[in-house]
Amino acid sequence: MSKKLTLTIVVILILCIGIGYWAFYILKKQSTSNQNSISDIKKLKVVTTLFPIYDFAKNIGKDKIEVMLLLPPGVEAHSFELTPGDVIRINQADILIYTNKFMEPWISDIIKGVTNKNLLIVNTSEDIKLIPAVFHDADEPAGSMDPHIWLDFDNAKMMVNSIAKAFIDKDTSNKAFYEKNAIHYNQLLADLDKDYKSTIISCKLKKIIYAGHYAFGYLAKRYGLDYIAAQGISPDSEPTARDLAVLIDQINKDNIKYVFYEELASPRIAEMLSKETNTDLLLLNAAHNISKEQLEKGISFTEIMKNNLNNLKIGLEYKQ
């Protein structure tokens, strides 16, 4: 082989290697640019007040949103007080989602103080028919409505639809994405509703004795249950000695074997009733809020409701 031919081959090889490196560099740069472009896409900043709507929003928005739960984990919803930092976060958000004015009585002050004119404020109870509060006290005067609307799964579906609509209003380009996720989540709620109906109709007992505040009025109404709570709408409303005596008599009269207690509240009343009536305790979680550990584990609203149904099976004596 001549020296001239050998040199030509070497030059061609060097050129090929150079072109290869150049192409690799360009492709890598383009890939990095695309990744940066994706990461730079603005996500909707969403602030939610309570856990149910936080979970609804998270399931509808998925990776298109940054969602924040305003209520700190482990804090009882009715005793929550806003901080200046909360007000700042709300004003920096694209969307604020709340339950209703009876659940978050401070919301009107927040709305008045909002400086972000582009903030979309969503009242998820707007199209829902609220039922009257059963108990009244200083915190819940006569004329108040029961705020625990999410415990009727048809109401929960309407809340999901309100949240999806808000996301679409702010991010029209992802309309199909939000609609698809809302439809999927509403099917989960429909399945839950079906399970509750088929289970409760097969239970021997149809009465819930609840050693907490009156949170399950919507659920009891939907499934035809008698529901007796030791406290009013607010967990701060203490039952009198006479109230507790009447409740103890009711438990003994109806041969109740289980007393239900609520999440994130003192179990003092539940433990007293259990001791006085020789009954066992079961959790019935209204899902206002969750613990820090539950938040880190990613517990969902539907999971909480399934756990409730399992305890209702026991407490209401499910007949297979």
Domain segments of the chain: what residues?
Answer: 44-196, 200-315
The three-state DSSP-derived secondary structure of the chain is: CCHHHHHHHHHHHHHHHHHHHHHHHHHHHHHHHHHHHHHHCCCEEEEECCHHHHHHHHHHHHHHEEEEECCCCCCCHHHCCCCHHHHHHHHCCCEEEECCCCCCCCHHHHHHHCCCCCCEEEECCCCCCCCECCCCCCCCCCCCECCCHHHCHHHHHHHHHHHHHHHHHHCHHHHHHHHHHHHHHHHHHHHHHHHHHHHHCCECCCEEEECCCCCCHHHHHHCCCEEEECCCCCCCCCCCHHHHHHHHHHHHHCCCCEEEECCCCCCHHHHHHHHHHCCEEEECCCCCCCCHHHHHHCCCHHHHHHHHHHHHHHHCCECC
Non-local (6+) Cβ contacts of 221 within 8 A are 131, 152
Give the pLDDT confidence score for residue 37 in this predicted structure: 41
Q: Looking at domain 200-315, which CATH architecture does it have?
A: 3-Layer(aba) Sandwich (3.40)
Top-confidence residue, 6 or 89: 89
Confidence of residue 144 (pLDDT cuts 50, 70, 90): confident
| Measured distance CA(114)–CA(122) in Å, rounded | 14
Give the pLDDT confidence score for residue 148 in this predicted structure: 95
Give the pLDDT confidence score for residue 76 in this predicted structure: 77
| Measured distance CA(47)–CA(56) in Å, rounded | 12
111, 150 Cβ separation under 8 angstroms: no
Tokens 């399950």, residue?
A: 216
Structure tokens at 222: 């939907």
Give the pLDDT confidence score for residue 39 in this predicted structure: 41
| Measured distance CA(289)–CA(124) in Å, rounded | 17
Q: Considering the chain, what is the average pLDDT of its residues?
A: 86
* pLDDT tens profile 13-54: 555 565 555 555 555 555 544 444 444 468 999 999 999 999
Top-confidence residue, 266 or 84: 84
* pLDDT tens profile 276-287: 999 999 999 999
The helix-helix angle for 153-170 and 175-200 (nearest 10°) equals: 170
Q: Residue 146: what residue type?
A: D
Give the pLDDT confidence score for residue 264 in this predicted structure: 80
Non-local (6+) Cβ contacts of 4 within 8 A are none
| φ and ψ of 162, to 5 deg | -65, -40
Residues of the chain above pLDDT 90, percent: 63
Top-confidence residue, 3 or 150: 150
Tokens 């709300």, residue?
A: 90
Give the pLDDT confidence score for residue 151 in this predicted structure: 98
| DSSP-assigned beta bridge partners for residue 47 | 68, 96
159, 124 Cβ separation under 8 angstroms: yes
Average pLDDT score over residue span 167-185: 98
* pLDDT tens profile 211-250: 988 899 999 999 999 999 887 655 556 788 888 888 899 9
Intrachain domains 44-196 and 200-315 with the same fold: yes
Closest to 196 (Cα-Cα) out of 72, 301, 313: 313
Q: Which CATH number fits domain 44-196: 3.40.50.1980, 2.60.40.2550, 3.20.20.70, 3.50.50.60?
A: 3.40.50.1980
Non-local (6+) Cβ contacts of 157 within 8 A are 186, 189, 190
* pLDDT tens profile 81-96: 888 899 999 999 999 9
* pLDDT tens profile 48-63: 999 999 999 999 999 9
| Measured distance CA(99)–CA(101) in Å, rounded | 7
Top-confidence residue, 2 or 187: 187
